[in-house]
Chain A
Amino acid sequence: MNKLNNMKKSTKVDFATYLGVIIAFIVITVLMNNGTLGRKQVGLLVPACCYVVMAVSLNLTVGILGELSLGHAGFMSVGAFSGVIAAMSLAEAIPFEPLRLAIAMVAGAVCAGIAGVIVGVPVLRLRGDYLAIVTLAFGEIIKDLINCLIVGHDSEGLHIIFNFKGLKTVDDLGLLPGGNVIIKGAQGATGTDTIASFTAGVVLILITLFVVLNLIHSRTGRAVMAIRDNRIAAESVGINITKYKLIAFVTSATLAGAAGALYGLNYSSLQATKFNFNTSILVLVFVVLGGLGNIWGSIVAAIVLYVLPEALRSVADLRMLVYAIVLILVMLATNSPKMKAVLSRVIPRKKGDEVNE
């Protein structure tokens, strides 16, 4: 107990975050085995895990690095499709599903990481809104490029063609008999084995938390936050701006790729248009409502905001309208000075909070 008291506040919060995820996992598993959760609720679990990882990883870019990224779904997309390709082409070589899922997630993460480097090097030279629009542009480009991809697999290995003019079809792959098509251009990946599992999702969340939290508390993380708080001051004390920005950005992209692979393997069919600008925005909303730089906030926001529209299905037509109104009201309530004054009168604040104002 004494040891617990001696820990830094941030360490305590981190432990509580890990513990919370594990407890949530145990509770949900018990509920699943009980049969309390219906098929619909169980179906939400894996995507919810993916969005949690997406939110935590985007928080690294937006909250810790302080750069607004509007193309995070692009990395998820790269991860999803490379993960699907890896899983489908290894289907015969590795029949053991969890191992295949892990390899697919690693493949997704690596590909998204490479995409992160390609995007990050030019993008991170820009600042503010210009950076935001360029990440948006890259997200759309990635989506369009994947839409042109036709990939098949047979005993000779992978066949990939790039459908630049929209004239080629699956037949152009020249697959041997027994081969299967993995990605069919604009139709996306079809007939994917759904090998994603909730356990894998939770493991991925824990790995993400481990990576992100350790990064934040390391020397690298402090350098990244120094750049966020004052770029010029950070540069003048000898911090290599490009290097640390790139580290944070690529880590974020890599984790998004792993989440994408898990997401892709949760559905038997998946189109690249799923990962458009709106998905990036959705994840950004999770991050901002959870609190910039606040990791457990991102987790809670992602879960609540992902489950909320699904829970509102009873009022089907109104649900997105309600979602929009809730979003606006929450932003007004937490950011408007007038509302803050009203809130602070209703809820007495702790002394420590005043300092942060």
Chain B
Amino acid sequence: MEFLSYLISGISLGSVYAIIALGYTMVYGIAKMLNFAHGDVIMIGGYISFCAMSYLNFPGWLALILAMVVCTALGVVIEGLAYRPLREATSLAVLITAIGVSYFLQNSALLIWGATPKVFSPIVEGTQNIGGLSVSNISLLTMAACIVIMVVLTLFTSKTKMGKAMRACSEDKGAAQLMGINVNRTISTTFAIGSALAAVAGVLMCSAYPTLMPTTGSMPGIKAFTAAVFGGIGSIPGAFLGGILLGIIEALAKAYLSTQLSNSIVFAVLIIVLLVRPAGLLGKYVPEKV
């Protein structure tokens, strides 16, 4: 019974990681860049919904939508101003720019909202009793949201025109452009989707762990990136699987092994997996051509 409750808290935490990782993996798959600012978009999403709920008295769902709208706009603006001019630059240059954007967002948040942690009130309250286990509504909502997002994203990328354009861009940008795909708009859309997902993750995460600081997003951002790599970066089911597994490993490690070393155990598992499967669990191994 105890094990089951740890498992459920792990899946719930993993669902948050998975939602973030889905955004990470979409952006990586198409723009081929590690967007280190992704974690900070989560934090901004958290703050926006916090402000909407506590200053404007918005209901939870409206705050969530507002956060999504703001983060989507933020994602598109960041992409347009900071990443688009570097489309042809080396990946390291883009990485450093992303780090710059991450510092920028963190310090803007520090200036606007201050360093004192804000206490976030969950968007849904209460618990459900399922077979003798009490599971909080927010956990259930997170898990449901994660599955819905995963399914919708998979359908989106495989069925819609824009989704196909995204896959084409991720395969070969030059060829996609020759086929009449607007590469810049496709990448912008990807960033918009990724940032909206980050906002959802931010609100859900802050509802489950209700402290909000300018650095709130950085560790989940790194973990979600780890999850995306774990599952095979660029793959949507991979990000989902990686996120859930990471959450479960972290929760169980915290419960049974060591609280202090739970992060280390997560990272150690990642290292072992990558050594056995260098492209992640569901990643495609692409042999090098000479």
Contacts and interface: CB of A to CB of B under 8 A. Distances in A.
Contact of B97 (A125, A145, A331, A339): A331
Contact of A148 (B261, B271, B290): B261
Q: Which of B86, B96, B111, B268 has the most CB of A within 10 A?
A: B96
A274 B111 CA distance: 23
A147 interface: yes
Nearest to A337: B88
B103 A327 contact: yes
Interface string A122-150: 10011101101110111011001101100
A144 B259 CA distance: 11
A129 B34 contact: yes
Contacts of B111: 317-318, 321
Contacts of B96: 284-285, 288-289, 327, 331
B86 A320 contact: no
Contacts of A24: none
A328 B278 contact: no
B14 to A, nearest CB: 18
A166 interface: yes
A277 interface: yes
A133 B99 CA distance: 15
A218 B178 CA distance: 46
A323 interface: yes
Contacts of B104: 321, 324-325, 328
B100 A324 contact: yes
B226 interface: yes
Interface in A298-357: 317-318, 320-321, 323-325, 327-328, 331-332, 334-339
Contacts of B259: 165-166
A320 B106 CA distance: 9
B100 A327 contact: yes
A232 B270 contact: no
Nearest to A63: B92
B264 A141 contact: yes
A321 B226 contact: no
A323 B233 contact: no
A147 B270 contact: no
A165 B86 contact: no
Nearest to A281: B99
Contacts of A163: 260
B182 interface: no
B58 interface: no
B238 to A, nearest CB: 13
Interface in B212-254: 218, 222, 225-226, 229, 233
Contacts of B88: 337
A15 interface: no
Contact of B260 (A134, A166, A317, A318): A166
A145 B86 contact: no
Contact of A232 (B225, B268, B278, B288): B288
Interface residues on B, range: 35 or more
A133 B225 contact: yes
A336 B270 contact: no
Interface string A252-282: 0000000000000000000000000100010
A138 B267 CA distance: 7
B85 A332 contact: yes
B267 A140 contact: yes
B260 A328 contact: no
B89 A336 contact: yes
A328 B82 contact: yes
Contacts of A129: 28, 34, 229, 233
B160 interface: no
A137 B290 contact: no
A148 B278 CA distance: 30
Contact of B89 (A132, A324, A335): A335
Contacts of A232: 288, 290
Nearest to B283: A130
Interface string A53-97: 000000000100000100000000000000000000000000000
A295 interface: no
Contacts of B229: 129-130, 133
Given A277-B222, A324-B103, 10 more contacts: A122-B271, A136-B222, A137-B226, A317-B110, A321-B104, A327-B96, A327-B97, A331-B93, A332-B97, A335-B89
Interface of B: 28, 34, 82, 85-86, 88-90, 92-93, 95-97, 99-101, 103-104, 106-108, 110-111, 218, 222, 225-226, 229, 233, 258-261, 263-264, 267-268, 270-271, 274-275, 278-280, 288, 290
Closest 7 CB pairs of A and B: A137-B267, A324-B103, A327-B100, A336-B85, A324-B104, A335-B89, A328-B100
18 contacts: A68-B95, A126-B278, A129-B34, A129-B233, A134-B270, A134-B271, A137-B271, A138-B267, A144-B260, A144-B261, A144-B264, A165-B258, A166-B259, A317-B110, A327-B100, A332-B86, A335-B86, A335-B97
